[in-house]
Amino acid sequence: MFKRTSRMGVILCTLVIAAAVLILVTGCNRSQASSASSGLKGMNIVFGRWHNAYDVNTYEPRNEAEEKELEWRKKIQADYGFKMVIEELAGWDDYFPIVTTNIMSGNKSVHVYELSGEWAMTLYKQGLLYPISDSSYKLTNTVPVAGQRTAYNAMIANMFTFGGKQYAGSVGVGGDSWQGNFVFWNKRLLREAGLDPELPYNMQRDGTWTWENFFNIARQTTRDTNNDGSIDIYGLPCDDVREVMYALVYGNNANFVTIDSSGRFQNATNTPGFLEAIQFYVRMMEEGVMRPRPAGDDVAWDWDFTEFVSSRVALYIAPEWRKGQMPDTMVDDYGCVLPPKGPRATDYRMSLTENVFVIPALFTPQEVDAILQAFDLWNVPMDTDWKAGQYWAFRDRRAVDETMELTKNARNVTYRNFSLIPGFDTGSFGEPLRTFRGNPAQLIEQFTPQWNALIESANR
């Protein structure tokens, strides 16, 4: 009887302790949420960026997922008593000067800004960003849960952590900013050149999507179709040189800039892999498979895109955001694969940058707690089936099921570290490549002092 009573006592004691722990834990969670939510009431929060304004009162959802998202965003604002909008402050060219002016003048009308990595680094160097990790509202989730929890990119959090404090973040697990680059191709032009229109997909699947096979397709699709002695269809355009360089450099397991174990930037343009990538670009120009840039000063900046959608080039290396324009502008059927592998690579490797969000160093800790909670609630995903949100941008499912699937594997994705260095301009290096002939090492050598100076400044 005594033993039974003792066991009952132990069980009862255990239950009481468990209940106490549960109350303590839930109480702590509720206290953090309630303290932040109390600060939310009555706030009008503005998220500034250079694209796609959004107001729950005027936004027209385009599909079921966006309908759910709109419903959620209306609900959280009603439940927590705050308002939030996304304002398109300006176009790309004018946006960052406006952001800088706002922050330096103490203008608190915008609470969160979306920025490129370089812009965020520039503001951090000037001491204009709030360390979001100091907030009592923590954004540390790395796994999204539909209807419950926003995920944040751990790679970006680490890259923007200095002295133990995080100054910028990125929503999502990674690769969601449409800033990577791909190879698109015209299926009809491959077929007319005697090639299987699915060939790049098949090579990507089989592990044979290499520089040489890419070059062979470009060579076979470069044709004089009416026998007048002039090339009518080229393999690909020579622009955008930056995107072509990114595809080749990172696709050869090389980099413009690396980051060592101590967090310092290192110039990587003097490595064999980088030089091979630039040599391959020059080779394609010399062998005539790339359509030269038209002469004149009035050439449209996106002439290369026009060449592709009008079916005058068979292949097109382009930034990922171009996929959003393809469905409505591309004349023929098209496919999409990752950049081909160079001789120094074992895996396909797509480079990207991620846009980041920052909070200006203008707000009180209590205001930042509320801003982060509102931002966190706003971005809760309604659906984690990322593929469903990609099919609309392509003409076939293989682009999503095979190519986009690869971008979710960390082995196939790398960050363009140079983009964190203010002033590191790859475009000025790419410009002369269109007409450069000879050993690219000479051109690299010309830019090395400039790059080293920027790297040295960023390391201070």
**pLDDT tens digit string along 68-94?**
999 999 999 999 999 999 999 999 999
* Residue 29 covered by a domain: no
Q: What is the DSSP letter of 313?
A: B
CA distance 69 to 1: 60
Q: At 25, is the pLDDT very low, low, confident or very high (cuts 50, 70, 90)?
A: very low
Say yes or no: 197 and 136 in one domain: no
Question: Is the per-residue pLDDT at 189 higher than 70?
Answer: yes
* Residue 261 covered by a domain: yes
Say yes or no: 247 and 129 in one domain: no
Say yes or no: 168 and 215 in one domain: no
CA distance 102 to 85: 18
Using one digit for the tens of pLDDT, what is the confidence trace for 130-148?
A: 999 999 999 999 999 999 9
Say yes or no: 279 and 375 in one domain: no
Q: At 159, is the pLDDT very low, low, confident or very high (cuts 50, 70, 90)?
A: confident
* Residue 441 covered by a domain: yes
Q: Rounded to 5, what percent of the chain is helix, strand, coil?
A: 50, 15, 40
Average pLDDT in the chain: 89
Say yes or no: 212 and 71 in one domain: no
* Residue 30 covered by a domain: no
The reply to whether omega before 55 is within 30° of 0 (cis) is no
Using one digit for the tens of pLDDT, what is the confidence trace for 386-434?
A: 888 899 999 999 999 999 999 988 789 888 999 889 889 899 999 998 8
Q: At 281, is the pLDDT very low, low, confident or very high (cuts 50, 70, 90)?
A: very high
Question: Is the per-residue pLDDT at 27 higher than 60?
Answer: no
Q: Domains in the chain: how many in total?
A: 2
Say yes or no: 440 and 309 in one domain: yes
**Dihedral (Cα; 405, 408, 413, 414), 10-degree rounding:** 160
35-49, 308-322, 356-370: the lowest-pLDDT one: 35-49
Q: Which of 384, 403, 438 is the last residue of a domain?
A: 384
Say yes or no: 374 and 412 in one domain: no
Expressed as residue numbers, the domain containing 446 is 181-352+390-458
Q: What is the DSSP letter of 193?
A: T
Question: Is the per-residue pLDDT at 3 higher than 80?
Answer: no
Say yes or no: 331 and 454 in one domain: yes
Say yes or no: 224 and 301 in one domain: yes
Say yes or no: 236 and 326 in one domain: yes
pLDDT at 408: 85
CB 120 within 8 A of CB 168: yes
CATH number of residue 116's parent domain = 3.40.190.10
